[in-house]
Structure 1
Amino acid sequence: MNRFLHFILLSISIFLGFTFWGAGMAKLFHEHQFFGWIGPVWLIEELEPYGLGFYGKFIALSQICIGYMLVTTRYKLLGSIMMIPMIANILMVTISLDWRGTPYVLAFLLLLNLILLWQYRDFFRPLIDEGKSRFDIKTRRIRTASGHLVWLAGLGLQLFAIQVSYWNWIVACGVVLTGLVLSALSFRADLISVATEEVKIP
């Protein structure tokens, strides 16, 4: 994959991730004071009269987790797969509530998501064949348990920041940034873990 294409795909991942991660955080942050460009931030309040407030919170948490997979670029494949049913759920809500314009925005975001999935097309043939396929799967960067744990710690800080926002908005933003930096360091944790294993091998 050439550098320009890699940059484009990375940019799509970050854009999609920020879009949905920011949307979910804005729904749950105190008084919806979080950065994001897509709404509505008051989805939970809109659904509560129909007894669907808890469902609205579920959507928000899904947006945070799935979006975070993409904005940190560590789990682009898993995040892209999970984003399809999430967008479908949001689309059904917007159609049911007759929100005009939103379905077109979601269609554009779904298109970007499909572009991301296309780079992982070599993974899908074994799924279709329900087993080993004669088609090769391209090698990709090694992931390690330590890297996964570092990334999960960063995600945990995002959820913790929501609670902190009810106490102090500035501190909550600091917790969010700390989590993002920590998750970015998960790639470094992979390299350290791999290097350590190589040293152990006689």
Structure 2
Amino acid sequence: MKKIIPQLISVFLGFTFWGAGMVKLYAGHRFIGWIGPPWLVERLAEYELGLFAEFIAICQITIGFMLLTTRFKLIGSIMLLPMILNILMVTVSQNWAGTPYVLAILLLMNLYLLWQYRDYFQPLIDETFPINSLRTKSERTWIGHGIWLTGLIINLLSIPVSHSQLYLAFSLVGIGLLLSLLAFRLDRYYLS
């Protein structure tokens, strides 16, 4: 039970931010997403900030994908912290009703994830490496990392495809997610 809760939180946060980024960039905003205004890119383009909004969406996709697939949940949760804080500051400064509370809950969930990995931060603070680690090293391979990265790239490539072939784009998303999840199996195969 102790390990399943961080996994579920990681998947939930990952789905939340991955979907929020995808819905901003997909044709007609036809993607699954429950937070974030899907019209953000168009609205910021009026102020010549469209490229910035696309960058934010791609960051949301990448960070969300790290958490959703749980392969890089520590890096993803570290990267998610400033993203949530920035979004929170925008919503507070714009006086959005309700959204800051939702973001505060997401922030607490992310802080819980970071707390689960607190012993990894000691070397960053001390600038030394621990002699004995309390954690067991999870075995991962470069082949698994490559397959995971291929899945992320396929997800990103589905965005321009969505503007001409929506169902093909959805298929690419599914293939990308499946590849990224299969990376764990490849690790086990090559390490056994």
Report the aligned-residue RMSD. Answer: 1.4
Aligned residues: percent identity?
A: 56
CA distance in 2, matches of 1:15, 1:32: 20
Superposed CA offset, 1:159-185 (max 9, x none)? 111011011111111110000000001
**What SS is found at the alignment partner of 2:159?**
helix
CA distance in 2, matches of 1:60, 1:135: 40
What's the offset of the Cα at 1:137?
Answer: 4.1
1:136 CA displacement = 2.9
Of the three residues 146, 150, 154, the one matched with 1:153 is 150
Q: Is the 8 A contact 1:151 1:186 kept in 2?
A: yes
**Hey, what does 1:199 align to over in structure 2?**
none
Please tell me whether the aligned partners of residues 24 and 62 of structure 1 are also in contact (alpha carbons under 8 angstroms): yes
Corresponding residue of 1:50: 47
User: Aligned equivalents of 1:134 and 1:150: distance in 2?
Assistant: 32
Listed as ranges, the matches of 1:68-147 within 5 Å are 68-133=65-130, 136-147=133-144
Supply the distance in 2 between the matched residues of 1:140 and 1:133 (Cα, whole angstroms).
Answer: 13
Q: How many residues align?
A: 192
Runs of 5+ unmatched residues, structure 2: none
TM-score (norm 1): 0.90
Bigger radius of gyration: 1
Q: Distance in 2 between matches of 1:177 and 1:112?
A: 26
Question: Displacement, 1:23?
Answer: 0.4
CA–CA distance in 2 between the matches of 1:192 and 1:59? 36
Residue 70 of structure 2: SS of its match in structure 1? coil
Output the TM-score relative to the length of structure 2. Answer: 0.94
Q: Which runs of 5+ in 1 are unaligned?
A: 196-202
